[in-house]
Amino acid sequence: MKYYGDLRSIITALDEMGDIMHVHREVDGDFEPSAITRRSYEIQSPAPLFHKVAGVAPGFRLFGAPAALSSRSDMPYARVAMSLGLAPESTGPEIIEALSAARFKPGIPPVRVESAQAECQQNILRGAEANLDRFPIPFAHDKDGGRYANTWGTLIVKTPDGKWVNWSIARVMKVDGKRMVGLIVPSQHIGQIWTQWVARGEPMPYALVQGPAPAISCVSGIPIPANADEADYIGTLAGEPVPVVKAISLDLDVPATAEIVIEGHVSIERDYQEGPYGEYGGYLGEGSSAQPTFHVETITHRHDPIWPMSITGRPTDESHTLWAMGLAADALTYLREAELPIKTTWIPEDSTVHWLLVVMPENWRERLPGVSSEALTQRIGEVLFKTDAMVFIPKVYVVDDDFDPTNLREVVWALSTRVHPVGRRAVFEDQRVIRLPQCYDEAEYVAGKGAKVVFDTLQTKRHLHASFAQGYPEEVRQRILDNWPE
């Protein structure tokens, strides 16, 4: 296990594993980097690193698919695992256990270093020089409302009283060299903090950090409890404090090893149209909405900076790996806190964060005497649908542990044979709905409410599988394996 303290060190490690695709020819600054990155997701190729982008100064680079599935079939979650300081061969459930376990450990606060020690402040741009046009920001999809300046960067904000510092990922669209517009959802943590600044009538200071230590990007994109500082949680995962430096123009601390830091203030009104944007559900966006403007005042960056990007869409990208694991870890944490004997939770990548599997151990009835599967299903829904993270997930499946929930072929087999056509489910009406999940109708989006469901697929009696593992005597299986292939 190794913790990577900056983006460059993990790129080097992935390169040594054969999981980096170096693109040395010049690519256009509009769609080509995004299209290459999108194809890399869909064919599960190495992550593309673009060394020469038209229209920007030599040395500026783009890095795509930073936490997607690895091209190494023997360690598919290596990019996520290594980003979090775990072994590259870690399984999905092992990553989820690590994310959940860290929430019960004391946080390790960040440590501030001097500006001279902070790589992110090797170059300081102020005034007219602090301009986004100098950076390689491509269009993510050809139907998007503009170039998206943030798809994998960390937004840092804090409450006016300074008691809560939030590090998060939210999409932010470039307007011009000095302005961006970002999606701020009131229920999300950045939305809660922005609302406090609006109540004071003051623009919210922000720092947009591109290319920090990979664990920072990952944790910024997963749910942890409100009023908890992501920096402390990252320190727990890393086993050491995150080095930070005071921003040049703001009272905010930013990761010292980051590639690029954009500093400024967010307007107190929703004064510019944001979107559309092709989102994680796998469809190109339609329409836009009024969102706050992010004014650009100061930019700092390392020499020859690297701008990372996540090009969301059909599986499998960072939304379906890292974010899905974070949501599953959040669900696992709350279910275990409710004293339910959950073995693991999992969101299949190909469900685009629309399914959650809650996996029960074989002895769950012994551990919950007198509780029926129907009552268990109801209780799971009651726990989950009170949490903020579950606003994204409309369908939950309570399943046995006699198949591999991370193997989509086995998931499809189990669900297709065990989901009852009309019964054995708990429906929860009038649940909170936002526009990002794709399965609701317009009236439900407008109302902000819709149904969610928990399917009870638990078997009253476990059936043996007609498979190689369960359909033949052990000595026959071993003899076949010893002579395979003949």
Q: Which residues contact 363 (CB under 8 A, 6 or more apart)?
A: 341
In a domain, 214, yes or no: yes
- The CA-based angle 449-458-330, given to 5 degrees, is 50
Segment 465-469 shows an average pLDDT of: 95
Residue 90: helix, strand or coil by DSSP? coil
Judged against a pLDDT cut of 90, whether residue 263 lies above it is answered with yes
Q: Are residues 130 and 277 in the same domain?
A: yes
Residue that finishes a domain, picked among 309, 325, 353: 309
In whole angstroms, give the CA distance from residue 168 to residue 226: 12
Residues 304, 342: one domain?
Answer: no
Active-site annotation holder among 230, 279, 318, 349: 279
In one-letter notation, the amino acid at residue 428 is: F
Q: Considering only the C-alpha atoms of the chain, give the largest distance between any 2 of them, rounded to a whole number of Å.
A: 77
Asked, for residue 410, whether it belongs to a domain, the answer is: yes
How many degrees, rounded to 5, is the angle at CA 432 between CA 220 and CA 374? 105
- Quick one: 122 and 255 in the same domain? yes
Q: Are residues 348 and 298 in the same domain?
A: no
Give strand pairing partners of 173.
148, 181
> CB-based contacts of 137: which residues, under 8 Å, 6+ apart?
147, 148, 149, 174, 307
State the DSSP H helix or E strand holding residue 216, giving kind and residue range, or none if neither. Answer: helix 214-220
Domain containing residue 384: 338-456
How many structural domains is the chain composed of?
2
Please list the residues that pair with 346 across neighbouring strands. 357
pLDDT of residue 124: 98
Computed over every residue of the chain, the mean pLDDT equals 96
Read off the tokens for 285.
Answer: 């966006």
Residues 392 and 355 reside in one and the same domain: yes
Domain identity same for 168 and 247 = yes
Of 264, 291, 309, which residue sits at a domain end?
309
Residue 27's pLDDT is: 97
Q: Which two tokens stand for residue 110?
A: 């960040």
Give the count of beta carbons closer than 10 Å to the beta carbon of residue 22. Answer: 10
| pLDDT confidence band for 228 (50 / 70 / 90) | confident
**Contact between 126 and 298 (Cβ < 8 Å):** yes
- Separation in Å, CA 213 to CA 10, 152, 292, 456: 9, 12, 27, 41
Residues 272 and 410 in one domain: no
Q: Are residues 299 and 345 in the same domain?
A: no
pLDDT digits (tens, 9 = 90+) for 455-464: 999 999 999 9
Cα radius of gyration rounded to whole Å, the chain: 23
pLDDT tens readout for residues 7-63: 999 999 999 999 999 999 999 989 999 999 999 999 999 999 999 999 999 999 999
Note whether residue 465 is domain-resident.
no
Give, rounded to a whole angstrom, the gap between the first and last alpha carbons of the chain: 39
Instruction: Return the SS3 of 1.
Output: coil
Judge if 228 and 302 occupy the same domain. Answer: yes
For 430, the token pair is 């009038």
CATH of the domain at 242: 2.30.110.10
Query: Which amino acid makes up residue 393?
Result: I
* Residues 280 and 343 placed together within one structural domain of the fold: no
Residue 220 included in any domain: yes
What's the pLDDT at 111?
Answer: 98
Going by C-beta distance under 8 Å and a sequence separation of 6 or more, which residues neighbour residue 97? 329, 332, 344
pTM of the model: 0.95
What is the predicted pLDDT for the residue at 352? 97
Q: At what angle do helices 373-384 and 324-337 cross, to 10 degrees?
A: 120
pLDDT of residue 7: 98
Domain assignment present for 227: yes
204-210 and 179-182 strand pairing? unpaired
Q: Are residues 223 and 348 in the same domain?
A: no
Q: pLDDT value at position 104?
A: 92
How do residues 167-224 score in pLDDT, each as one tens digit? 999 999 999 999 999 999 888 999 999 999 999 999 999 999 999 999 999 999 999 8
Q: Is 28 within a domain?
A: no
- Cβ-Cβ contacts under 8 Å for 456 (sequence gap 6 or more): 373, 374, 376, 377, 398, 420, 424, 425, 426
Rounded (5°) CA angle 304-306-308: 170
Q: Is 212 in the same domain as 269?
A: yes
CATH number of 391's domain: 3.40.1670.10
- Crossing angle, helix 92-102 and helix 230-238, to 10 degrees? 120
279 is catalytic: yes
Question: What long-range pairs does 236-240 form, CB within 8 A, spacing at least 24?
Answer: 236/102, 236/105, 236/106, 236/107, 236/108, 237/3, 237/84, 237/85, 237/98, 237/102, 238/3, 238/85, 238/108, 238/213, 239/3, 239/85, 239/108, 240/3, 240/108
